[in-house]
Amino acid sequence: MMTHTNIATNADGTKRGLKKKHVQMIAIGGTIGTGLFLGAGNSIARTGPSILIVYAVLGAFFFLMMRGIGEMLYADPSQHTFVSFISKYVSPGAGYFAGWSYWIGLVFVAMAELTAVSTYVKFWFPHWQTWIIQIAFLAILTLINLISVKYFGETEYWFAMIKIIAIVAMIVTGLVLIFTGFQAPASGGHTIASFNNITHNFSMFPNGVGMFISAFPMVFFAFQGMEFVGITTAETQNPRAVLPQAINTIIIRILIFYLGAMTIIMSIINWHVIAKTPDQSPFVMVFQLAGLRAAAVIINFVVLTSAASALNSAIYSAGRHFYQLAEDSTTPIMSHFKKISTHGVPANAILLTAILVLLSPVINAIPQITSAFGFITAISSNMYIIVYTMTMYAHRKFRESSDYLPDGFTMPGYKFTSPLTLLFFLAIYLSLFFQSDSRVSAIGAVIFSLVFGYLAHRKFANVAADV
C-alpha cells in the first residue's frame, strides 16, 4: 500500500493544485445541475408534492454510490478516475469498456452543454451567430483547463458560488413570502403561501403510478455528474482529509438545494399551476411573485453559468479520463496522450477532447442531424447508469481484495446498502423501457453495450492468449 502525503506534484507530473475550498465548491457544483433551475417545473408537473420523495430516495442512493467511490479513492488517492477501479477489480476488458463509454458520454455531455451555453447567451444577443458563441466559450474554458488545475478550481469555485447564491436567495425570498402570508395573484393560482400546501390533499400518484415512476430517471439524470468530485482526488492537496468531508456533506446539500428549494416552490405556488407551464422555471415564477421584474434575466444568467460550469467540468473530466485510457493503452498513437505539460495537466488529452467538442457547432449547423444528436446524447446519458453499476460492482470486488482498509472511509451498512444500490440502479434502467420517450435510447445503449462489450472482452481475451 502506497503512503500518500501532501505532495505538490504526483509521480506522473500532475500537480495537487486543488485546495479544500475548491473541492468543496466542486462537490456542491456537481450536486446542483442546470436541471434544477429549468427542469423543476417538469418534474413537479409529473408527481406534484411527492416529487420530494423521489428526490430524497435518489439522493440517498447517490450518496451511497459516492461513499462506495470515496472508499476506493481513499484507499488509493493517486487514481485520476474512479473508472480505473473497474479495470483493477473486475477485469481489464470491463475497465476498457467502462473507460471508453464514460469518456464518450462526457464528450457528448460537453457538446450538449456547449449548445445550452449558446442558447442562454442568445437570450441577450439573439443576432449573434451560434457557432461564434460556442467556439469562444470552448476556447476560453479549454485555455483555463490548460493553464493549471488551480485556475480550473478557481473558475469552478465561482461558478458554484453563483448557483448557491441563486438557490439561497430563492429560499430566503420564499420564507419571507410564507411567513408574511403572501397570497399569489391569479397567475399563481391565488395560493396563500404556506407549508400546508405540500400536505393539503396530498396524493402519492396524482397523475398515476406511471408518471411517478417516470420521475425517477428524470431526477437521476439531474443528479448525473455528482461523481465528478471524485475525479479531482489525484490533484487535491491532502485528499484523505478533504474527500471524506466533501462526500459526507452531499446529503446535506441535497436536503437544502433540492428538497429545500422544491418545498419552498410548492409552498408558494400551487403545483397544479406549475403543471400548466412545466417548461417555465419555477425559480423565475417565485422571484416574479416577489416583485423582481428582472427575474427571468437573473435566472438566465444563473443557468448560463451553470451550463458553463458543466462544460468546464466535462472538459476537465474527459481530459483526465482520456489520459487514463492512454496510460492503460499499449497502442503507439495513444502514447502522445500520456504526456503531462509543464503546467502539470494532460494537455494533449484536454486538447483532443476540446477538438471533438468543437464538432458541436458543426452538428448544430446541420438541421437534419438534430434528432440524431439528441438520440446519441440520450444513449450516453443511459450509459452513465451502466458505468455507475459497474463501479459499484467493482467496489464489491475491492472489498474482497487486500487493498480494503477496514479503518478507512468505509461505505455505511455495506452488507445491505451495496446490493440495494446495485438493484436500485438496475430498476432505474429497467424503468426506461416503460416510457416511450426513453425506450429507444435505452435499447440503443443496450446494443452499444453488447457490441462494444463483446469487442472489449475479445480484445483482452486475445491479449491473454498471446501471453
Answer whether 319's CB lies under 8 Å from 357's CB.
no
Pairwise CA distance, residues 359 & 135, whole Å: 10
β-bridge partners, 15: 9
- Measured CA to CA in angstroms, residue 160 lies from 167, 312, 386, 448 at distances of 11, 12, 28, 34
Question: What is the SS3 assignment for 375-416?
Answer: HHHHHHHHHHHHHHHHHHHHHHHHHCCCCCCCCCCCCCCHHH
pLDDT along the chain (467 residues), means of 10: 51 71 70 75 92 93 94 88 90 92 88 87 92 93 91 88 90 94 86 93 92 90 80 78 86 84 94 90 90 90 89 88 88 88 89 90 71 73 91 96 94 96 95 87 92 90 58
- pLDDT on residue 408: 92
Answer whether 90's CB lies under 8 Å from 240's CB.
no
In DSSP notation, 315-356 reads: HHHHHHHHHHHHHT---GGGGGGS---TTSS-HHHHHHHHHH
* Predicted TM-score (pTM) of this structure: 0.88
Give the sign of the dihedral formed by CA 70, CA 378, CA 386, CA 217: positive
Pairwise CA distance, residues 67 & 240, whole Å: 13
The angle formed by the CA atoms of residues 436, 55 and 178, to the nearest 5 degrees, is 120
Pairwise CA distance, residues 79 & 104, whole Å: 19
* Cell (9 digits) for 301: 444568467
* 184 CB-near residues (< 8 Å, 6+ apart): 190, 191, 192, 193, 268, 269, 270, 289
Answer whether 30's CB lies under 8 Å from 317's CB.
no
Q: How many residues does the chain have?
A: 467
- pLDDT on residue 219: 87
Residue whose grid cell is 491532502: 238
Pairwise CA distance, residues 105 & 325, whole Å: 14
Pairwise CA distance, residues 420 & 216, whole Å: 16
- Domain limits, the chain: 20-460
Domain 20-460 top-level CATH class = mainly alpha
Is residue 15 classed as helix, strand or coil in its secondary structure?
Answer: strand
Answer whether 320's CB lies under 8 Å from 80's CB.
yes
